[in-house]
Amino acid sequence: MESLHWLALGIVVLTSIGIVIAALLVGRKPPTFRDIPAFRQIRRAVSMVVEDGSRLHISLGRGSLLTPFGASALAGLSMLRQLGETTSLSDRPSIATSGDGVVNLAAQDTLRSAHEALRISKPFDINRGQLTGLTPFSYAAGALPIMRDNQISTNVLIGNYGIEIALMTEAAEREGSAVVAASDNLPAQAVLYATTPGTLIGEELFAAGAYNQAGNFHIASLLAQDVLRWLVILALLAGAILKALGVF
């Protein structure tokens, strides 16, 4: 095995151990996070949905779970579980859309679990999780009528998108509904910055669970992310200094 493989395996194993230890420790003393306005907006939107009988639309993007873009869909699914549980009791329970078959099944399963966890007598409507298209633009185009026709008050767009996300934010703007959005794709982040105030930039997307009380493991993984970031910064600085000194 090459040395780089050993290094990568070491990082994975040490990070896993770090997350488990941190998850055990944060239960005793939860850390304080910096304020991210988008997460505050989501909490406000959830209470509004329950109070005024409007609906929440959670879009999970078009990232396939078989690709590295699946991580953003997983972050979205984790958020869906939290929001699904909170809004299942409202008159109009939340709707999830996605652009990938596997993510769509996972979304339906997540919404069903949230529904069953609350022991609601009304049967679960499987069409609350919808696949709206399998290509980027067909997905966005398919999501537009859902944003228009379902009395949506807030759209939470978390997942993998390209620049086509502008069509969705534009539609939300026209309908007067709020948007909280995050993508792991750089052009989409630039588009989001211009189109919507409630934008999560960069790795903030992966902090969704920790900010929405999804459990100790989410907080622990956020702490692990911070530690790893500092290690990367130190490695970059050390590399730059060594290069300047002519070591390599």
Partner 1 sequence: MNRIASAGFAVLAIATGILILLGYFINVPAVADFRLILLEWAVILAGVAALVGVGNLFSVHLQRVRQRVKGSTYSLLLLVSLLISLFLGVTPGLEAAQHIMLNAIMIPIEISLMALLAVSLTYAGIRLLRHRPTPIAILFIVTVLLVLLGTGAWPLIGQLSVFSDLRAIVAQVLAAGGARGILIGVALGTLTTGLRVLLGADRPYGGK
Cβ neighbors of 212 (< 8 A, separation 6 or more) are 39, 42, 43, 79, 82, 83
CB of 52 to partner 1, least distance (A): 21
- CA separation, residue 68 to residues 74, 184, 200 (Å): 11, 10, 19
CB of 96 to partner 1, least distance (A): 12
Nearer to partner 1, 47 or 89 (CB): 89
CB of 113 to partner 1, least distance (A): 3
- CA separation, residue 30 to residues 209, 210, 216, 218 (Å): 14, 11, 8, 12
Whole-number Å distance between alpha carbons of 128 and 108:
7
Nearer to partner 1, 51 or 244 (CB): 244
Question: Within 10 A of 83 (CB to CB), how many other CB atoms are there?
Answer: 26
Length of the chain: 248
Residues facing residue 97 across a β-bridge: 59, 130
Nearer to partner 1, 49 or 62 (CB): 62
CB of 51 to partner 1, least distance (A): 26
Cβ neighbors of 185 (< 8 A, separation 6 or more) are 69, 160, 161, 162
CB of 161 to partner 1, least distance (A): 12
Q: Which of 157, 203, 202 is nearest to 180 (CA)?
A: 157
Nearer to partner 1, 19 or 42 (CB): 19
Whole-number Å distance between alpha carbons of 70 and 88:
25
Nearer to partner 1, 89 or 186 (CB): 186
CB of 109 to partner 1, least distance (A): 5
Nearer to partner 1, 232 or 241 (CB): 232
Nearer to partner 1, 6 or 241 (CB): 6
CB of 220 to partner 1, least distance (A): 8
